Amino acid sequence: MGSPKQSPLDEVKLAMASTNELFNTEVFGKRNFAALDQIYTSNARILPPGAAMVAGRESIKKFWSDLIQSMNAKSAVLASIEVLPAGDGLVEIGRATLTAEPPGQAPAQMEVKYVVYWRQEDNRWKWHVDIWNQSA
């Protein structure tokens, strides 16, 4: 009786999927940039293509707010390809599909791949280092 036992890694993967889904539904879908507090560690780094590294959650929030609004971005659907346990953290390889409706332009879809180094902060699994590039 009861639900089947999950391995610790399976539980972590569920927590990761929940964080990834927040990025799609709250940040991209609702432009709720405060949700980024639950997604990035306070001293996270992002390494966006075509730009310098951005350090610290407040600067990262500005980055995503500016980008999502200027592109009129609509969604960012993330999927893990591999999850590698790494001490207190995890290394995730994944892919994402971004959609946007830039003003005066045709709707756009972009395939990217990424590596995220995850750490726990305040009992949540969060992105500590986040880098991505286009897949084609």
State the residues that interact with a second copy by CB under 8 A.
Answer: 45, 47-53, 81-82, 84-89, 91, 93, 113-115, 117, 128-129, 131-136
Q: Decide whether 35 or 115 has the Cβ nearer to a second copy.
A: 115
Structure tokens belonging to residue 110: 């972009």
Minimum distance from CB of 115 to a second copy (Å)?
5
Minimum distance from CB of 18 to a second copy (Å)?
22
Structure tokens belonging to residue 85: 């346990």
Q: Decide whether 14 or 51 has the Cβ nearer to a second copy.
A: 51
The residues pairing with 110 across neighbouring beta strands, listed in sequence order, are 98
Q: Decide whether 15 or 112 has the Cβ nearer to a second copy.
A: 112
| Exposure string over 86-102, b if 16+ CB within 10 A, otherwise e | eeebbebebebebbbee
Residues with Cβ < 8 Å from 89, sequence gap 6 or more? 117, 118, 119, 120, 128
Minimum distance from CB of 30 to a second copy (Å)?
28
Q: Decide whether 28 or 114 has the Cβ nearer to a second copy.
A: 114
